Amino acid sequence: MYILGLEGTAHTLGVGILDEDGAVLANLLNTYSPEEGIHPREAANHHARKMLPALEEAMQTADIQPSDIGLVSFSQGPGLGPCLRTVATAARALSSSLDVPLVGVNHCIAHIEIGRLTTPCDDPVLLYASGGNTQVIAFTRGRYRVFGETLDIGIGNMLDKFGRENGMPFPAGPVIEKKAKDGDSLISLPYSVKGMDVSFSGILTAALKSDAELNDLCFSMQEVCFAMLTEVTERALAHTRKEEVLLGGGVARNERLRNMVETMAEERGAAAYAPPGPLCVDNGAMIGWTGYLMYRAGLTTPIEKSAVMQNYRTDDVDVIWR
Ligand code: ATP
Ligand code: FE2
């Protein structure tokens, strides 16, 4: 059978198709990216409009028929309510019309499972850095536990807000990365690690107020924020005694962040991995694969339990498939 995975926690509508060996046959990403950032309702309308064409294109790419699909999985949370509900509605409709099981997946966990599928890592500490999420996660005592996270905004949202105020298109992360390469003077910004948690709002305020040169500001924001993330990831590695780091989320595509994490891992004798780009950002394949692991362990989601959970916590899930 083939597995269909639907992702829609934020601005990306993802449709993935896999086989039972974990081969990704299609992984369609359809991103709503307005200049001014995400409006949840408009992103949801985008997902609704694109759902049918995206499904058709994914099935064409995978060269399968709807009747070949044996499992429908969808991102049940966390995320933006209107986006989650739109994609969940499509998943329920598909599952009932095809008469196949439905599985609701925790989006953060899916970033780990796709890394375990597509990179050599087996039991990593995940540094998950995206627009809306910033968490350090690892598997202990039957669950994926959050060892550290942002106390305010996600790092990507912070970069996007800074970019918007400085006339950069959305998403600003890649633009900031480029500008940072031409900066070299380190502007003082509030390095904010509190216990195992991080905070970015003070850095944003300081950067917006600063009259330093833009390239230097981009450079300094990267240096400070990524050092914070690397520090917390290292402490999680030390605490859990794990020997692998996995990167996930859109910000994890940043070369400077990757270098810092790789250097830290190397110095500890650990290994660092990241899934290929389209599987590192939000995507349907990771939802499909995680849904399949859950299904194989006997977990399905009856329609009456398929309501979306905007604040679905990573450590709410009993990970019985490991
Ligand atoms: P989630 O719903 O998981 O929070 P998301 O909707 O933010 O995810 P992603 O594609 O995982 O989606 O991440 C998008 C974010 O990644 C944006 O904030 C964008 O600015 C940031 N980003 C993308 N590429 C880079 C880069 N090269 N450097 C820094 N940030 C980047
Ligand atoms: Fe994500």
Helix (H/G/I), strand (E/B), else coil: 96 = helix
pLDDT score for 229: 98
pLDDT score for 34: 76
Helix (H/G/I), strand (E/B), else coil: 74 = strand
Grade residue 36 by pLDDT with cuts at 50, 70 and 90: low
| Bridge partners for 6 per DSSP | 15, 74
| Bridge partners for 293 per DSSP | none
Question: Does the pLDDT of residue 38 top 80, yes or no?
Answer: no
pLDDT digits (tens, 9 = 90+) for 48-94: 999 999 999 999 999 999 999 999 999 999 999 999 999 999 999 99
Question: What's the average model confidence in pLDDT over 156-185?
Answer: 96
- Please state which architecture CATH assigns to domain 2-111+279-316: 2-Layer Sandwich (3.30)
Grade residue 37 by pLDDT with cuts at 50, 70 and 90: low
- Please state which architecture CATH assigns to domain 121-274: 2-Layer Sandwich (3.30)
CB 154 within 8 A of CB 130: yes
Our mutation pick for probing the ligand 1 site, out of 166, 251, 282, 311, counting the most ligand atoms within 8 A of Cβ, is 251
Range 233-238 contact pairs with CB under 8 angstroms and sequence separation of 24 or more: 233/125, 233/127, 233/136, 233/261, 233/264, 234/264, 234/268, 235/147, 235/148, 235/196, 236/125, 236/136, 236/138, 236/147, 236/148, 236/196, 237/125, 237/265, 237/268, 237/270, 238/268
Residues 6+ apart with CB under 8 A from 179: 214, 215, 218, 219
Q: Where along the chain do its domains lie? A: 2-111+279-316, 121-274
Q: Is the CB of 130 under 6 A from ligand 1?
A: yes
Percent of the chain with pLDDT over 90: 98
- Shortest-distance ligand to the CA of residue 310: 1
Our mutation pick for probing the ligand 1 site, out of 12, 30, 130, 219, counting the most ligand atoms within 8 A of Cβ, is 130
Grade residue 33 by pLDDT with cuts at 50, 70 and 90: confident
Mean pLDDT of the chain: 97
* Ranges 31-40, 85-94, 107-116, 211-220: which has the least confidence: 31-40
- Tally Cβ neighbours within 10 Å of residue 205: 12
pLDDT digits (tens, 9 = 90+) for 250-288: 999 999 999 999 999 999 999 999 999 999 999 999 999
pLDDT score for 231: 98
Rounded to 10 degrees, the C-alpha dihedral 294/8/112/250 comes to: 170
Q: How far apart are CA 173 and CA 168, in angstroms?
A: 9
Helix locations, 121-241, DSSP H:
155-165, 173-180, 201-209, 214-240
Percent of the chain with pLDDT over 70: 99
Q: How far is the CA of 133 from the centre of ligand 2 (A)?
A: 7
Q: How far apart are CA 49 and CA 20, in angstroms?
A: 29
Site of tokens 């329609």? 303
- Domains 2-111+279-316 and 121-274 alike in fold: yes
| Bridge partners for 18 per DSSP | 3, 24
Q: How far is the CA of 130 from the centre of ligand 1 (A)?
A: 4
pLDDT score for 228: 98
